[in-house]
Structure 1
Amino acid sequence: MPPISRRSFLQALGVAAAGPALALAPRFARAAAAEFTLRYANNLPASHPTNVRAKEMAARVRSESKGRVDIQIFPNNQLGSDTDTLSQLRSGAVDFFTLSPLILGTYIPAAQISGMGFAFKDYESVWAALDGGLGAHVRKQIGATSIFAFDKIWNGGFRQITTAEKPIVQPKDLQGMKLRVPPSPLWTSMFKDFGASPASVNFAEVYSALQTHVVEGQENPLSIIYTGKLYEVQKYCSLTNHMWDGFWFLGNKDSFSRLPADLQTIVQNAIDDAALKQRQDVIQMDQNLRSKLEGDGLKFTEVDQAAFRKQLQKSGFYADWQKRFGREAWALLERYTGNLG
């Protein structure tokens, strides 16, 4: 092999050193080409169907906008707690945020109505309500503020109760139990009516609160119990289906209005189409998770939901919340749930 001159060696070294930078150049060029960079935050693990579909949605928006719109995703409370991120959304520091209607209720009380305890019996009635008159009513209330909700709500699933020491079989089993609930007036009110001691804890802190026995139990859909690994610090799961919960895909009005109309349409369609796919993902995931979680050591218990609803009727829970929401909103709810008593 002929000897390599010092000049040739330095030239080769320079090309090699430039290689990684040259390889990254197209990526930086694409990022710089975006006219609009939008930040989307949520409180769910990266593996949750919401974030899986959100990544697809962001890629679709980038493609259909020809690189003009870049949606950056921040999962798992990376930008702060639910209440902190909601404040950021309202101010425009965050452009999009998916949030439970019940937590949104701390800012817009009317939003909580879709999470009424033991109201919806199945998904058919949920989608009829939230894609129909009840959803339109709630979106109107949200839209009267500095934020708005896209048309299609995302699926959180029917919620179940997990505990560390004993299963919940009857309403009386909740008496005195320190139970984690999200920061929501309706959640707190319902479990107080069962005699529990609800404690509001943001989701990012739930695992450690259960692990350190700050609370004895919690309630969430199976998909979140699994992706959040809550089964590692809980022993029992009672299939209460005590409420359906979802995630409104919320946007900051001023931020969204800066997009030209054609880009708004691209973003709107991509987000709502992703919501429909995510709904089915969560349903399928929950159907398949029981055997998986049982294999991980979680013990399941069936419950009589009628007994829990009867307790809420007796305590005056429904009557109280009917007054809070008003007759018009309550009539919209019962159009899809039937008489709650």
Structure 2
Amino acid sequence: MKHDDSLGQQGHARRKILAYGAVLPLSAMIGKYAHAAEFNYKMATGQDPTHPVNKRAQDAINRIKEASGGRVDIRLFPANQLGSDTDLLAQVRNGGVEFFNLASSILATLVPASGIVNTGFAFNSYAQVWKAVDGPLGKYIRSEIEKFGIVTVSRSWDNGFRQLTSSTRAIHTPEDLRGFKMRVPPAPILTSLFQALGAGPTPINFNEVYSALQTKLVEGQENPLPIIATARLYEVQKYCSMTSHVWDGYWILGNRRAMEKLPADMQVIVRREFDRSALDQRADIAKLNDTLRQDMTGKGLQFVDVDKNAFRDALRKSSFYKDWKAKFGEQGWNLLQQEVGALA
């Protein structure tokens, strides 16, 4: 299912999200610049057009065009129009697209260190998250990403704390996950997390999630509330357990060659404006998180509060933390534990 097929649907939650996601028409920019752009680039995202990622990406694009005097023109392609997330990761490396926003959890298939922020039940709050990813841990992750021929264009954007949904059972405790068939992104740490908790996770690309839930290929999935809302997953799910099991962020990735082609002053503009939009997008997600639970309750989704400590204790009894400490290495793991305390 294409998640942008029903943008005309009315509803309180939809209107709220549209308030953040209404992308400014590019026609407003036409005619302002006398000459064609010197640098015509593409930016791909996986989020529905109504998601704050696309609103704030378009804001940055418009400001970049303005500040560069029309020399840099970036066209936005939302909702996986140019391919799945895994396809687009290959494209941003080979120059098929110049910019791409990707969740840390999926980027970890290429850059293992980027997945350290996805360690299960590590972060307790956004205060912990931003201190870590805007500080030494984030600096370390960015340096690791740039070893793979791509660059990080800005500070991390917010994907959010991930929550667990189901069409068949309310998940209250780790025991409720036994044998639970669920979709996870193609992200090894999430597969490992739910295997350690006794579930049966299946990696499925995001553009196939709705149909997988609708046809009962899987019983449930996990995503941040804004994704659950904009993709209308509440239509095919009954319960949402507020596990906040993993925080995930987006990195705005740039093709190294494309960035290096830009004059130094243009590179500064690109980074500055995507950084500004990162902070705006974080604020958008915070506002949405305050309202979406109530909005989706009105659409029939039943919310379940859980004891997160029970899930963390179950992970400690497994080899999950020990295994991922070994995979991430001492440097990254120590930087994480400096912010969140001892995990293993």
TM over 0.5: yes
Q: Where does residue 85 of structure 1 map in the other structure?
A: 88
2:99 is matched with 96
TM-score (norm 2): 0.90
**Amino acid paired to 1:118:** F
State the percentage of identical aligned residues. Answer: 50
The reply on whether 1:149 has 2:152 as its aligned counterpart is: yes
SS at match of 1:112: helix
2:187 is equivalent to residue 184 of structure 1: yes
What one-letter code is carried by the residue in structure 2 that aligns with 1:145?
A: F
Q: CA deviation at 1:28?
A: 7.0
Shift of 1:32: 5.7
Cross-structure match for 2:216: 213
1:62 maps onto 2:65 in alignment: yes
Cα shift at 1:303? 0.1
State the Cα deviation string for residues 294-315 of structure 1 (Å, max 9, x = none).
Answer: 0000000000000000000001
Matching residue within 311, 314, 320 for 2:314: 311
C-alpha distance in structure 2 between counterparts of 1:212 and 1:228, whole Å: 16
Match of 2:4 in 1: none
- 2:110 maps to which residue? 107
SS in 2 for 1:300: strand
Q: In structure 2, how many angstroms separate the alpha carbons of the residues matched to 1:221 and 1:32?
A: 42
Question: Is residue 2:236 matched to residue 1:202?
Answer: no
Change (3 A) 1:88 1:312: same
**TM-score scaled by length of structure 1:** 0.91
Superposed displacement of residue 31, structure 1: 9.0
Which has the larger helix fraction?
1
**Equivalent of residue 166 in structure 2, options 163, 166, 169:** 163
Pairwise CA distance, 1:150: 2.6
Q: Deviation at 1:165?
A: 1.0
Q: How many residues align?
A: 317
Distance apart, 1:286 and its partner CA = 1.1
Q: Deviations over 1:107-162 (max 9, x none)?
A: 11111001110000000010000000110111001111210113410000111000
Counterpart code for 1:77: N
1:72 pairs with one of 72, 75, 78: 75
Which residue of structure 2 lines up, in the alignment, with residue 5 of structure 1? none
Runs of 4+ in 1 over 2 A off after TM superposition: 26-32
1:235 corresponding residue in structure 2 = 238
Cα-to-partner distance string for 1:24-67 (whole Å, 9 max, x where unaligned): 9x937849611111111010001000101111111101111111
Deviations 1:309-338 (A, max 9, x none): 000000110011111111111100001111
Write the letter of the residue equivalent to 1:76.
A
Q: Structure 1: which 5+ runs fail to align?
A: 1-23
Query: Could you say which residue in structure 2 is the equivalent of 1:7?
Result: none
* Gap regions ≥5 residues in structure 2: 1-26
Aligned counterparts of 2:138 and 2:36: Cα–Cα separation in 1: 37
Q: Within the alignment, does 1:48 sit opposite 2:51 as a pair?
A: yes
Is the 1:131–1:151 contact (alpha carbons within 8 Å) kept by the matching residues of 2? Answer: no
Query: Over aligned residue pairs, what C-alpha RMSD do you find?
Result: 1.3
